[in-house]
Chain A
Amino acid sequence: MRARHLGDLASWALALVVLASAPAARAQDPFPKSDPQVSPEARITKPVPKNRPGAAYPKQALDEGIYQSVEVSVLITVDVNGGVSNASVEKSAGHGFDEAALEAAKSMQFDPATRDGEPVAARTRVLYRFTPPPAVLSGRVVTLVGERPVAGATVTVVDPAGGTQVLSTDADGAWRTEGSAAGTYQVAVAAPGMVAHASTADVKPGEEISAIDRLEHEPSAAPPDAGATEQNVQEVEVRGKKPPREVVKRTLEQREIDRVPGTNGDALLSLQNLPGVARPPPLSGFLLVRGAGPMDSQVYVDGTPIPLVYHFGGLASVVPTEVLDRIDLYPGNFSTQYGRAMGAVVDVGLASPKSDRLHALVEVNLLDSRFVLQGPLFDTGWRFTLAGRRSYFDAWLGPVLTATGANVSVAPVYYDYQAILERDLTKRSSLRLALLGSDDRLALLLTSTSSGSPTLTGTVSDHTGFWLSQATYKNRLSDRTDLRLVAGFGQTYVDFNIGSLAFNLSTWNITGRAELSTKIDPRLTMNVGIDIWDYPYSLSANLPPLPRPGQPPPGPFSSQMLRYTQTNSTIFEPGAYVEWEATPWRGTRIVPGVRLDYDKDTAAWDLDPRFVARQDITTSPRTTLKAAMGLFSQPPQPQETNPVFGMSGLTSNRAYQYDVGVEREVTPKVDATLDAFYKQLDHLVVQGLGNTGSGVIYGAETLVRYKPDDRFFGWVSYTLSRSLRRDAPGMPLQIFEYDETHVLTVLGSYRLGRGWEFGARFRLTSGYMYTPQQYGFYDENVGTYSPLQAYPPNGSRLPLFQALDLRVDKQWKLGWASVRAYLDVHNAYNAANVAGISYNFNSTRSSFVSDLPILPVLGVRVDL
Chain B
Amino acid sequence: MSPLAGWRRGPKRPAAVAVLVALGAWCTSSCAPSGFQDEAQLQGGVRILASSADAPYAHPGQPVSVGVLAYDGRSPADRSASPMHIYWFPVVCENPALDAYYSCFAQFAHPDGGTFGQVVEDDASTESEDGGVGDSGGADAGVGDSGDSGDSGGADAGVGDSGGADAGSGDSGGSDAGGTEMDADADADSGPGAPVVSTFRFVVPPNAISSHPVVPGTTPYGLLMAFNFACAGQLQLLPLSGNPQAPPLGCVGANGQLVGPDSYVFGYTRVYAYEADAGVSGVNTNPVVDCIDVEGASASGSAAGDAGSLCAGMFQLAGEAPSWTSLPVTIPGCSAGQTQCPHIKIGAHVTPESWEPVANGLHEEIWADYYSTFGTFTHDATLLYDPMAGLIGPPKVTDTEFDPPVGPADGYVWIVVHDNRGGAVWVTVPVHVGP
Contact = CB atoms under 8 A, between A and B. Distances in A.
Q: Do A and B originate from a single complex?
A: yes
Interface of A: 283-285, 294-295, 298-299, 305-309, 311-314, 340, 397, 400-401, 404-406, 412, 440, 442, 444-451, 454-462, 464, 492, 494, 496-500, 502-503, 505, 507, 509, 533, 535, 537, 539, 541-544, 546-548, 551-555, 557-565, 571, 573, 635, 637-640, 643-645, 688, 775-783, 786, 788-791, 838, 840-842, 844-845, 847, 849
B21 A498 contact: yes
Given A459-B387, A539-B7, A644-B216, A446 B359 contact: no
B1 A306 contact: yes
B268 A778 contact: yes
Contacts of B6: 295, 637-640
A563 B218 contact: yes
A401 to B, nearest CB: 6
B244 interface: yes
9 contacts: A313-B19, A404-B29, A442-B22, A449-B367, A449-B383, A459-B386, A462-B18, A498-B18, A845-B35
A643 B216 contact: yes
Contacts of A448: 25, 28-29, 379, 381-383
A509 B2 contact: yes
B425 to A, nearest CB: 12
Contacts of B16: 283-285, 312-314
A450 B29 CA distance: 9
Interface stretch (B86-94, B98-106, B130-138, B159-167): B98-106
Contacts of A842: 39, 261
A535 B3 contact: yes
Contact of A778 (B40, B48, B398): B48
B22 A543 contact: no
The 3 closest A-B pairs by CB, nearest first: A313-B16, A637-B6, A496-B14
Interface stretch (B287-295, B304-312, B416-424): B416-424
B100 A305 contact: no
B278 interface: no
B269 interface: yes
A554 B267 contact: no
A546 B29 contact: no
Contacts of B243: 788, 790-791
B11 interface: yes
Interface of B: 1-11, 13-22, 24-26, 28-30, 33-40, 48-51, 56, 68, 98-103, 215-218, 221, 242-247, 261, 265-270, 358-360, 362, 365, 367, 369, 379-383, 386-389, 392-393, 397-398, 416, 418, 420, 422, 424
Contacts of A777: 101, 247, 266-268
Contacts of A440: 15
A507 B242 CA distance: 44
Q: Which of A406, A500, A542, A573 has the most CB of B within 10 A?
A: A500
Contacts of B267: 777-780
Contact of B28 (A404, A541, A564): A404
A490 to B, nearest CB: 9
Nearest to B227: A777
Contacts of A779: 101, 267-268
A307 B2 contact: yes
Nearest to B380: A451
Contacts of B397: 447
A459 B10 contact: no
A638 B218 contact: no
A405 B25 contact: yes
A194 to B, nearest CB: 39
A777 B379 CA distance: 23
Contacts of A557: 11
Contacts of A451: 39-40, 369, 380-381
Contacts of B247: 777
B11 A782 contact: no
A559 B365 CA distance: 12
A782 B418 contact: yes
Given A500-B387, A546-B11, A781 B270 contact: yes
A450 B28 contact: yes
Contacts of A502: 360
Contacts of B265: 778
B389 A445 contact: yes
Contacts of A541: 7, 10
B45 to A, nearest CB: 9
Contacts of B19: 283, 312-313, 412, 442
A554 B22 contact: no
Given A299-B1, A781-B424, A783-B416, A791 B244 contact: yes
Given A454-B367, A638-B4, A554 B100 contact: yes
Given A462-B15, A498-B17, A639 B382 contact: no
A509 B5 CA distance: 12
B419 to A, nearest CB: 10
Given A562-B218, A779-B268, A841-B39, 14 more contacts: A294-B9, A295-B9, A308-B5, A314-B16, A442-B18, A456-B17, A459-B387, A494-B8, A553-B100, A637-B6, A637-B7, A780-B48, A781-B422, A783-B49
Contacts of B1: 298-299, 305-309
Contact of B246 (A295, A788, A849): A788
Given A447-B382, A500-B362, A461 B18 contact: yes
A85 B266 CA distance: 93
Given A313-B13, A464-B15, A779-B268, A307 B22 contact: no
Contact of B418 (A454, A565, A643): A454
B217 A786 contact: no
A689 B278 CA distance: 29
A637 B3 contact: yes
B29 to A, nearest CB: 6
Contact of B386 (A458, A559, A564): A458
Contacts of A643: 216
Contacts of A644: 216-217
Contacts of B25: 401, 404-406, 444, 446, 448, 457
A554 B386 contact: no
Contacts of A786: 101
A364 to B, nearest CB: 22
Contacts of B29: 404-405, 448
Contacts of B389: 445, 458-459
Given A451-B380, A555-B100, A563 B217 contact: yes
Nearest to A442: B18
Q: Which of A539, A635, A791 has the most CB of B within 10 A?
A: A791
B11 A554 contact: no
Nearest to B8: A494
B22 A542 contact: no
Contacts of A314: 16
B99 A845 contact: no
A450 B365 CA distance: 14
Given A451-B369, A563-B216, A535 B51 contact: no
A497 to B, nearest CB: 7
Nearest to A787: B245
B51 A457 contact: no
Nearest to B241: A791
B99 A554 contact: yes
A507 B392 CA distance: 34
A347 to B, nearest CB: 12
Given A496-B15, A638-B4, A840-B33, A791 B245 contact: yes
B51 A458 contact: no
Nearest to A776: B245
Contacts of A412: 18-19, 22
Contacts of A500: 358, 362, 365, 387, 420
Given A449-B383, A462-B18, A840-B33, A571 B3 contact: yes
A788 B246 CA distance: 7
A688 B98 contact: yes
B353 to A, nearest CB: 19
Contacts of A645: 217
Q: Which of A401, A454, A494, A548 has the most CB of B within 10 A?
A: A454
